[in-house]
Structures are given as C-alpha cells and as structure tokens.
C-alpha cells in the first residue's frame, strides 16, 4: 500500500474541504482498503468519515426509512424499526457478505462504490430511494449511472439514504459461491401505485426490469409473470455465470420474491 495522509474529520464540512481529485472517503473500507492493498488504487488523502456522528443512524417516519451513510449492514439487519417498516431491507442487509463484512461495511460505502453485484443498489431502485448528499438530493434512478459509477461529484458525500416504505417487498439473491456477492439479486417492491422490480448483478449496473414491473403492477402475483421470458441480451457473461443463466435466474428469483411478499 502506498503512503497517504489520513484524516478523521468530525463534521461533513471539514470532510468536504479535504476532498480533492486525489482523495477517497473511507467508511467501512470494504472495497477501498483491499483496492489500496492490491495496488489497484492509491490516494494522497484518505478521509475517514466514521467519526462524523450525524452520518450514522436509522430514522423511521410514516412514509420512509432513512439510513445514515455510515450505518453498518449489521445495524440495518438487526434494527427493529427497519424490520417492522421494510423487512426486506433488513433481510438484504443481513445477507451481505459475511459477519465481518456486515460489521464494517456501510450503506453509504456500498452505494457510492456501486459495484454491479452489490445488493443495496437494488433496494434503492425498487424502494424509490432518495440519496441525500452534502450538496443535494438525488433520486436513485439518477444516482446509479454505470459500472462503479454514480452521479456523485468530486467532494460530494452521501449523508443518508431515504427509502420509501412499500406495501410489500422482498429481496432474493443467488450468491456467487466464491465471493457471495450477487450473481443476480432481485428486489421486488409493491408500492401503492406500482411495482418496481430492481435487478442487480445481471448487467453492468443495477436497473429496473420494466417488463416485469409493468406486469406485476397490473397483477401482483406469480402467475402474472409465469412463463415470461427475461432476455439475456446485455447481461454479464463471465466465468461465474453466462448471460443465459443470469436471465433464467432473474425470472426465477423475481417469482420467488413475489411469492415471498
């Protein structure tokens, strides 16, 4: 690992000031630290945001659940409030990585990194999340812009993620047997007006499967999507899974999720 300056600011303003084109915000460090250790990334300044109190915690209102950026997966998984308001979200958090990852990894880190196989982005998409940054509020569908890419600008820091509480929701994942990231993950959320089926792992970036969402919006049942073919075009094909297999899993796990709702 290359040498770097370590900063541990106490508030967001200071953190933001320290940021440059050669810096990284550090939360759980689940991706940043291995990347630095492997020499894949190096920074002049590493800005540890874990000491910024305001960035951690879970708030539930009548309509939404807001989770602070440095809240750990284990905290989300164990939260009674989350379990009551959006059980699928607690379930998702409880199945990320392993116990060590869940006790260090954070929601802000996960969505800022936007790994195409990460679980949280699918929840953001399906639950019409609003990403609160130190500069603005960004809708989830505008936030995830491509593989490991987001709408975040230099110095911009995720502060919290606000999820809309759905009527029903479920998350189903087919984990990569090696890394336990999602080979595919499907988040189905039934809101008052419509249904969102968000898919992670299948393509270069999380997306809403419009066909499945539309069908389920008009008839929220397994039978509504039975026999519906999910097209494999544009899906990832690698040594872990072919596009064809991924497509099969998306349709299968969408059904499983609807069934579990």
Partner 1 sequence: MASLVGSRVERKEDTRFLQGKGRYTADINIANQTYAVFVRSPHARAKIKSVDTSKALKSSGVVGVLTGKEIAEDKIGGLIAGWAIRSEDGSEMKVPANPPLAKDVANFVGEPVAVVFAETLDEAKEGAEKVKVDYKVLKAVVDPAEAMKSDAIHDGVDKNLCYDWLLGDRKAVDEAFAKADKIIKVDLINNRLVPNAMEPRACVVDYNTASEEITLYTTSQNPHLSRLVMSAFGGVAPENKLRVVAPDVGGGFGSKINVYNEEIVCSWASKKIERPIKWVAERTESFLTDTHGRDHVTHAELAVTNDGKFLGFKNETIANLGAYARVFGTVTPTYLFGPCATGVYVIPAAYSNVKAVYTNTAPVDAYRGAGRPEATYTIERLVEKAALELGIDKTEIRMKNFPTQFPFKQTLVHTVDSGDYVAGLEKAKQMADYKGFEARRKKSEANGKLRGIGVSSYFEACGIAPSAAVMSLGCGVGLWESAEVRFNPTGQISVFTGAHSHGQSHDTTFAQIAADELGVPMENIDVVHGDTDKGTFGMGTYGSRSLTVGGIAIVNACKKIVAKGKRVAAKMLEVNEDEIEFKDGEFVALKSNKKKTIGEVAFACYLPGQRDEMKSPIPEGDEPGLIESSFFDPANFSFPAGSHICEVEIDPDTGNVKVEKYTAVDDFGRIVNPMIVEGQVHGGIAQGIGQALHENTQYDETGQLMTASYMDYTMPRADNFPEFNLGFTCTHATSNPLGVKGCGEAGAIASPPTVMNAVIDALGGQEISMPATAEKVWKACKAMKKSNAKAA
Which residues make up the interface to partner 1 (CB under 8 A)? 1-3, 38-39, 174, 177-179, 181, 239-242, 245, 248-249, 252
Chain centroid to CA 194: 21
Cα 181 to Cα 197: distance, rounded to the nearest angstrom: 19
**83 vs 180 by CB, closer to partner 1:** 180
Question: Minimum distance between the CB of residue 207 and partner 1, rounded to whole angstroms?
Answer: 21
**4 vs 220 by CB, closer to partner 1:** 4
**49 vs 96 by CB, closer to partner 1:** 96
**52 vs 241 by CB, closer to partner 1:** 241
Question: Minimum distance between the CB of residue 210 and partner 1, rounded to whole angstroms?
Answer: 23
Question: Minimum distance between the CB of residue 79 and partner 1, rounded to whole angstroms?
Answer: 24
**115 vs 162 by CB, closer to partner 1:** 115
Question: Minimum distance between the CB of residue 236 and partner 1, rounded to whole angstroms?
Answer: 13
What secondary structure does DSSP assign to the chain, as a single string?
A: ----EEE--SSHHHHHHH--TTEEEESS-TTHHHHHHTTS---SEEEE-TT-GGG--EEE-SSEEEEETT-BHHHHHH-HHHHHH-HHHHHHHHTSS-HHHHTT-BHHHHHHHT-TT-SHHHHHHHTT-EEEESS-EEEHHHHEEETTEESPPTT--EEEEEEEP-SEEEEEEEE-TTT-SEEEEEEEEE-SS-EEEEEESSSSS-EE-HHHHHHHHH--SHHHHTTPPPP-TT----SS--HHHHHHHHHHHHHHHHHH-
**3 vs 233 by CB, closer to partner 1:** 3
Q: What does the radius of gyration of the chain's CA atoms come to, in whole angstroms?
A: 18
Question: Minimum distance between the CB of residue 34 and partner 1, rounded to whole angstroms?
Answer: 9
Question: Minimum distance between the CB of residue 252 and partner 1, rounded to whole angstroms?
Answer: 5
């Amino acid at each position: 690992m290359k040498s770097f300056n370590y900063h541990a600011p106490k508030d967001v303003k200071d953190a933001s000031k320290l940021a440059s084109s050669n810096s990284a915000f550090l939360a759980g460090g689940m991706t940043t630290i291995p990347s630095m250790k492997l020499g894949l990334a190096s920074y002049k300044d590493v800005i540890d945001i874990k000491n910024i109190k305001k960035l951690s915690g879970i708030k539930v209102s009548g309509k939404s659940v807001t989770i602070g950026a440095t809240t750990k997966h284990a905290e989300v998984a164990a939260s009674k409030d989350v379990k009551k308001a959006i059980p699928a979200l607690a379930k998702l958090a409880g199945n990320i990585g392993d116990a060590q990852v869940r006790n260090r990894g954070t929601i802000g880190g996960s969505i800022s990194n936007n790994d195409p196989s990460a679980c949280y982005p699918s929840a953001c998409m399906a639950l019409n999340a609003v990403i609160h940054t130190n500069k603005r509020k960004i809708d989830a569908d505008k936030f995830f812009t491509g593989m490991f890419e987001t709408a975040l600008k230099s110095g911009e820091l995720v502060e919290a993620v606000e999820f809309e509480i759905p009527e029903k929701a479920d998350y189903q994942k087919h984990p990569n047997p090696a890394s336990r990231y999602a080979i595919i993950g499907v988040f189905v959320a039934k809101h008052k007006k419509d249904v969102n089926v968000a898919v992670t792992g299948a393509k270069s970036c999380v997306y809403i499967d419009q066909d499945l969402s539309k069908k389920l919006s008009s008839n929220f049942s397994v039978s509504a999507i039975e026999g519906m073919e999910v097209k494999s075009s544009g899906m990832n094909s690698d040594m872990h899974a072919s596009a064809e297999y991924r497509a099969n899993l998306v349709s299968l796990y969408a059904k499983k999720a609807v069934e579990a709702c």
